[in-house]
Amino acid sequence: MAHSCFCTRSCHRFFLGISPDGDLFPCGMFQGEPAFRYGNIHDMEPEGVARTVLFSGIEDRESKVLATCSKCAFFDLCYSGCMFHSLKDSKILETKDYYCAGCKMYFEHVLRRIHGDVSRAARECRVG
Tell me if 79 sits within 8 A of 67, measured CB to CB. no
Residue 59 lies in a domain: yes
Range of the domain at 58: 11-127
Number of domains in the chain: 1
17-18 and 39-40 beta bridge pairing: unpaired
What is the pLDDT averaged over residues 27-32?
Answer: 88
For 38-50, what is each residue's pLDDT tens digit?
999 999 988 899 9
Residue 68 lies in a domain: yes
Does residue 81 register a pLDDT over 90? no
Neighbour-count burial for 52-79, b at 16+ CB within 10 Å, e otherwise: eebbeebeebbeebeeebeebebeeebb
How many residues would you count in the chain?
A: 128
Q: How confident is the model at residue 24 (pLDDT cuts 50, 70, 90)?
A: very high
Residue 6 lies in a domain: no
Residue 4: its pLDDT value, please? 66
When the pLDDT of each residue in the chain is averaged and rounded to a whole number, the result is 85
Does residue 122 register a pLDDT over 60? yes
Gap between the Cα atoms of 73 and 71, Å rounded: 6
Does residue 35 register a pLDDT over 70? yes
